Amino acid sequence: MASHPGNDGPPPLLGRRAPPCVLLLCHPIEFSLLDRPLPDNFRFLKPWESPLPLDDFLSSADARPAEAILTNGRAPVTADMLRRLPGVRLVFTSSAGVNHIDLAECRRRGIAVAGAGDAYSEDVADLAVGLLMDVLRKVSASDRHVRRGLWSSEGEVALSSKLGGKRVGIVGLGKIGLKVAKRLEAFGCAVSYNSRNTKPCVPYPFYSDVSELAANCDALVICCGLNEQTHHMITREVLLALGKEGMIVNVGRGSIVDEKEMVQLLVQAELEGAGLDVFENEPDIPEELLALDNVVLSPHSAVFTPESFSDICNLAVGNLEAFFSNKPLLSPVLYQ
């Protein structure tokens, strides 16, 4: 679904008696961190300003006028919510993933969905390569050693490994995965990939089986989205296929990896290291990871740059304006 569902679409912005009503499911930190005001050509409903709990607010008369919902990856849009908001015709999420939105219910109700599109790809790809470089060269570990008074010439710092020449497998060669691949190529890495389908215009070897990909790589970089097919896609078997010198980087979603198995293998030194921006039960992180010197942790912040936030603010407003002007969405989520 790439544009407005329904026959006539919403009334256009021009000629409306009142501005379109948009429900903000969560505080729009992208706007607040940039000290950027919300546009005044929409009426924004802010549940956090209500004395009611969110669930009660959604059932109240105050929420009833909502024609669109703005959310992020941490605020689900459920079938029950949509049933209580019958006027909603558009859902925009500032996240790259859409697993928090009930797409089946959106389809049933003819609700259009738009997302972050390509807004975050560069920044997420940068962090993915940065995490891999950090784990390989032990940047964070070396920083901790220096702060403890240790020094390399005294043999107190472990050897690191260079990135160039490494065989890196990318799981999910979408917009982010492709940008990761290009960056790794520049470092002289041998890139291969696993994805839902082969990509006809890329030069990298394709593996339909992710375990086979892992067996032929020194590191895996997880870039795919989370859905029923990718949940716990990275199993113990896949991780063991990487081998004791293998490394894993995850900038996709935490639940793509069987986190319990990954932690166990890291503790048992059956994996060389990991760079993780996402976790299975955020913000709870397994305590075992905190004690490991070969693991680099990031608080799901790959997109936390002023450039990304500026782009997503523009995209959110642009999609709202396009939808309520009966124009094509700027970043539609295609679903069947």
Q: Is 253 a catalytic residue?
A: yes
Backbone CA torsion sign across 28, 30, 32, 33: positive
Q: Which of 183, 253, 259, 261 is catalytic?
A: 253
Structure tokens given for 315 = 């995209």
Name the strand (E) or helix (H) holding 295.
strand 295-297
Contact present, 97 and 73 (Cβ < 8 Å)? yes
Q: Which of 137, 231, 300, 321 is catalytic?
A: 300
- Nearest CA-CA partner of 91 in 80, 83, 99, 103: 103
Q: Is 145 a catalytic residue?
A: no
C-alpha angle 268/274/156, rounded to 5°? 75
Helix, strand, coil percentages, rounded to 5, for the chain: 35, 15, 50
Q: Is 100 a catalytic residue?
A: no
At residue 267, what are phi and psi to the nearest 5 degrees?
Answer: -65, -35
Q: Tokens 């549940």 label which residue?
A: 47
User: In a 3-state reduction of DSSP, which class is residue 111?
Assistant: coil
Q: Which residues pair with 220 in a beta bridge?
A: 169, 248
Q: Which long-range contacts (CB under 8 A, 24 or more apart) does 140-148 make?
A: 140/296, 141/293, 141/294, 144/293
Contact present, 272 and 245 (Cβ < 8 Å)? yes
Q: Which of 105, 185, 212, 282 is catalytic?
A: 282
Q: Which residues are catalytically annotated?
A: 253, 282, 300
